[in-house]
Amino acid sequence: MSISKDARQIVESAVQGVMAKAIALAPDGWIPGGEPDPLIRSRHGHVGKPVSRLDGPLKVSGTAPFAAEFPMQGMVYAALVFGTVPKGRIAAIDTEQAESSPGVLSVMTYRNAPRIAPPPVFMSGPKAAGGDNLPVMQDDAIHWNGEPVAVVLAETQEQADHASSLVHVRYQSEPAQTHFAKAKAAGTRTATFMGQPLHNEIGDAEAALVRAPVSVDVRYSTPRHNHNAIELHAVTAAWTGDELRIHDASQLVAHEAWSIAQMFGIPEDKVVVTSPFVGGGFGGKCLWQHQVLAAMAAKASGRPVRLVLSREGVYRVVGGRSLTEQRVALGADREGLLKALIHTGVTAKTASNAMPEPFIMATRSAYASETISLDVQAVELDMLANTFMRAPGESVGTFALECAMDELASALDIDPIELRVRNEPKNEPISGLPFSSRNIVEAWRTGAAKFGWDKRSSVPCSTRDGEWLVGMGCAAGTYPYYRMPGGAARITLTHDGQAIIDIAAHEMGMGTSTAQTQVAADRLGLSMDAVVFRYGDSTLPGVVLAGGSQQTAAIGAAVSAAHHSLVKALLKIVGNDSPLAGLKPDEVASGDAGLCKLGDPALHETYVSILARAGQTSVTVTAEAPAPLETQHWSMHSHAAMFCEVRVNSVTGEPRVSRFLGSFDCGRILNPKTAASQFRGGIIMGLGLALMEETQFDERTGRVMNPSLSEYHVPVHMDVPEIDVIWTDIADPHTPMGARGIGEIGITGTGAAVANAIYNATGKRIRDLPITLDKLL
Amino acid sequence: MSMTVNGAAVSLPDDPRVSLLDLLREYLHLPGTKKGCNQGACGACTVLVDGERILSCLALAVQFEGRSVTTIEGLGAPGSLHPLQQAFIEHDGFQCGYCTPGQICSAIGMAQEIRRGVPSHVTADLCTETISLSHDELRERMSGNLCRCGAHNGIVDAITEVFAEEDILAEAAE
């Protein structure tokens, strides 16, 4: 973003700062979550049961429809041509040969593409979804190496793919900044994230570091990463008159519909985005050029268009996680109490997005220290815009912080768990806010006991099994509780006692419909088969991002608000003959498929009876969730204690993870079966981060050099041991259902736990990810 | 010029460039077989051809004249699931569900390879006639099927439960 925009954001955030102070000081009762959600008390309902996925039969039989699987009458196939220079202009583009190729309908370039506005970049507005704010095929300018320069439409995919090889482009290159070190040398700027500078100071940390009797001062680096959901990004787009229909794989259907409407200059309700199943997201399934190009091509050709990115195309068009270079310096007294905590560094972004990898986020609430200095500097490169990927900031930030804590524990000769426990903060160190619920010490204790931490030798390189060196390591993970504004839900209660919940939410594998059906059934006092949970459609209520691990809370708060409205609506129609006659909304509760008087379940009438008596076939209510003020009133975070055992081959250097345990403190667990999978999934992506994942970026040309699943390695079955996950199940009294999000925390702390185990096994500190065998020889 | 897909005769495509995967997905409207990379790296497109697992994205459809192809749709449907499909649900052997059809088809093909005594990278004795479905054998042999959601533990548990019994292995080979 530009300097003036950054300045505006800072002014806005100063105003917000005054508000934040007022919210922090307000009485608990004024804040959402001030009164605990009644569902927290309920221990005998559907919540907490290991229910199998309701959509499981569809998924295992291949009948769950994904974005590329909506056939349309007269549909044509698209293939993209990607640019090959990092910056410059298209000097000439020859489409003649492609256009005359068999089956080809048209070739769209900047010369004949429909004129549209640039995308509203994510975080620039409540529903802005763009990964960047660059114009999409509107002129001859090239902004990154791999930017789409042509869209070929043909009757079959084979024809489109072949014709795309017949488009000939000549470029006029311009000087590009694609070199991280050179960009750093030219100057960095303090990064801003969500309107706030990524900078915090408490006391003089550098001075305290010098005075501290024991200290470590080390540097870590983490590479670029790509999400690599197995489903390729795909879109099927069609115009019917002035209405645009998009079948997409999307984590933000409402944001996307609004943003695309802005670009085409049409009303928001003229764009319908549906996304019933997303084949993995992890932050990568938002709004990038492919959806827009498909919509443009469909408009220009008058035919529905299917555009499936190739795997290379995903790397060229969809951003990933940026690289970081981090310094962590810790100073402590001889007892291990922190006197100085410094976590600073540099990352790369683009001028076209607002997403510096915020690697200090976890450190803000991690440890008590007399002094703290946190800072993220950013440089801007000419590359595809980076974006959020599972636990942006925390995933790579905890790698540095938690490795440094391990190094400090070694320097002090204190057990690394004990060191962390000694530095537990009473309130959040940066904001001073009280924690809503923090039970990390319990997670450490139970995790250590289950993992057998007491069998670890604190002396590195002291356990050997044949040619394998064996070691154990641990690290803390953490991820904040978020609930973003805009949540809303609709409940339709029908005469046969069924409740339909409608909300524009998403299923990318988290088990959304299953867990939310459990929650809604308990909230309404219904059986699960009386609840229908509908989602993944931008025409439904609510602006709900499936990101920031916030969707569960966002849906929970919205459905809770809608339930309040439903109770009010039902009491208005109960009539004088009902046992509920004359009761006020706060005097009744849902239960046994109806409403009853609070504290007197005998005074009860079923929903079926209420509707029958009133002569109504259904009652429909829609309500918005309250603004998420709780996140400014309490410091709200999930926590994890991660334990890893590795085996490193002393001959080849090959590192293998042999055991892993995650001990989580994430509030109440709504469904132990799907939650365990979320935790394991995060941990396994963390194993990839630790040992193999790297998007290789050619700093000379700004081009991703390993855009395939053959050359970008993700953990495979043989890399994944049995992963044990346990949790405290202590409800957070201030969140909907007492739950906090669980989708991202698994990847946090995992990289450090692996690295620390490798140190324990080999005596080698590898501070540069990924930890490949060459670094261990 | 025809082949059999899930028991039904289908014509081979006119265009020799059409992969078996695209034939299934785009021409026969059997989208249960998934496209995750289109270059043989992810395993999402795994189908069974005459009982053997192959990557349908690396196979040209015209090469399969007279062959019998089984896709996930041919194994079972909601209401009449294959035991392995049911086990995937019980063990939560998936999250997003996109790699799942390939994992299931691959596991069935793998079980038959073990039964035939085909060794893998982790088989200690290459001359042995009976290979057991150990944890390592299973993980090694399933490593060509990527899962990004991290459902590996559930996948291994589901396969183990269904194929640990020798008689089911025998049944799978028929």
Distance from CA of B108 to the nearest CA of A (A): 14
| Model confidence at A264: pLDDT above 90 | yes
The dihedral through the CA atoms of A641, A472, A772, A420 has a sign that is positive
| Whether residue A613 sits in one domain with residue A517 | yes
| Model confidence at A336: pLDDT above 80 | yes
Distance from CA of A77 to the nearest CA of B (A): 10
Give the closest residue to A60 by CA, choosing from B124, B10, B79: B79
The minimal CB distance from B26 to the residues A157, A680, A681 is found for A157
CA distance A317 to A288: 7
Residues in chain B: 174
Cβ-defined contact of B81 to A278 (cutoff 8 Å): no
| Model confidence at A276: pLDDT above 70 | yes
A chain contacts of residue B18, beta-carbon cutoff 8 Å: 156, 158
pLDDT at A20: 82
Q: Are A53 and A659 in contact (CB under 8 A)?
A: no
The minimal CB distance from B98 to the residues A66, A282, A683 is found for A66
Domain assignment of residue A55, yes or no = yes
| Whether residue A160 sits in one domain with residue A299 | yes
- Cα–Cα distances in angstroms (integers) from residue A31 to residues A17, A544, A630, A632, A666, in the given order: 17, 21, 6, 9, 21
| Whether residue A264 sits in one domain with residue A118 | yes
What values do phi and psi take at B104, rounded to 5?
-70, -45
CA distance A752 to A766: 10
pLDDT at A12: 65
| pLDDT tens by residue, A210-221 | 999 999 999 999
pLDDT band at A6 (very low <50, low <70, confident <90, very high): low
| Whether residue A291 sits in one domain with residue A159 | yes
Give the closest residue to A662 by CA, choosing from A681, A677, A680, A686: A680
Distance from CA of B166 to the nearest CA of A (A): 23
Q: Give the domain-ending residue among A571, A592, A627.
A: A627
| Whether residue A529 sits in one domain with residue A420 | no
pLDDT at A7: 60
Give the CATH number, domain containing residue A240. Answer: 3.90.1170.50
Instruction: Give the number of domains in chain A.
Output: 3
| Whether residue A491 sits in one domain with residue A470 | no
Helix (H, G, I), strand (E, B) or coil at A512: helix
| Whether residue A722 sits in one domain with residue A615 | no
Give the CATH number, domain containing residue A578. Answer: 3.30.365.10
A744 given a catalytic annotation: yes
Domain assignment of residue A207, yes or no = no
CA distance A514 to A670: 10
| Whether residue A522 sits in one domain with residue A614 | yes
| Whether residue A622 sits in one domain with residue A639 | no
Domain assignment of residue A58, yes or no = yes
Q: For residue A461, what are the contacts with CB-CB under 8 A and spacing of at least 6? A: A469, A761, A762, A763
Cβ-defined contact of A717 to B138 (cutoff 8 Å): yes
| pLDDT tens by residue, A316-327 | 999 999 999 999
Domain assignment of residue A268, yes or no = yes
| Whether residue A619 sits in one domain with residue A662 | no
Q: Give the domain-ending residue among A582, A610, A627.
A: A627
Q: Give the domain-ending residue among A586, A603, A627.
A: A627
Instruction: Domains for chain B: give ranges and CATH numbers.
Output: 2-74 (3.10.20.30), 83-173 (1.10.150.120)
| Whether residue A591 sits in one domain with residue A556 | yes
pLDDT at A1: 47
Give yes or no for A546 touching B (CB within 8 A): no
| Model confidence at A4: pLDDT above 80 | no
Interface of A with B in 173-232 (CB under 8 A): 227-232
Domain assignment of residue A524, yes or no = yes
pTM reported for the whole predicted model: 0.97
Domain assignment of residue A367, yes or no = no
A chain contacts of residue B25, beta-carbon cutoff 8 Å: 68-69
Distance from CA of B97 to the nearest CA of A (A): 5
Cβ-defined contact of B33 to A57 (cutoff 8 Å): no
pLDDT at A22: 87
Q: Residue B167: enclosing H or E segment and its boundaries?
A: helix B166-173
CA distance A634 to A28: 9
Domain assignment of residue A2, yes or no = no
Domain that holds residue A308: 67-175+232-278+285-317
Interface of B with A in 40-69 (CB under 8 A): 40-42, 44
CA distance A669 to A222: 32
CA distance B95 to A448: 28
Helix orientation angle between A672-691 and B152-163, rounded to the nearest 10 degrees: 110
Cβ-defined contact of A230 to B25 (cutoff 8 Å): no
Angle CA B109–A229–A245, to nearest 5: 110
pLDDT at B167: 47
| Model confidence at A693: pLDDT above 50 | yes
CA distance B42 to A229: 11
Q: Are B3 and B67 in contact (CB under 8 A)?
A: yes
Domain assignment of residue A211, yes or no = no
Residue in chain B lying closest to A280 (CA): B96
Cβ-defined contact of B95 to A58 (cutoff 8 Å): no
| Whether residue A655 sits in one domain with residue A673 | yes
Give the closest residue to A537 by CA, choosing from A295, A248, A131: A248
Beta bridge partner(s), residue A511: none
CA distance A394 to A750: 11
Q: Which of A231, A370, A428, A744 is catalytic?
A: A744
pLDDT band at A513 (very low <50, low <70, confident <90, very high): very high
Cβ-defined contact of B96 to A715 (cutoff 8 Å): no
Give yes or no for A63 touching B (CB within 8 A): yes
pLDDT band at A295 (very low <50, low <70, confident <90, very high): very high
Angle CA A64–A65–A69, to nearest 5: 145
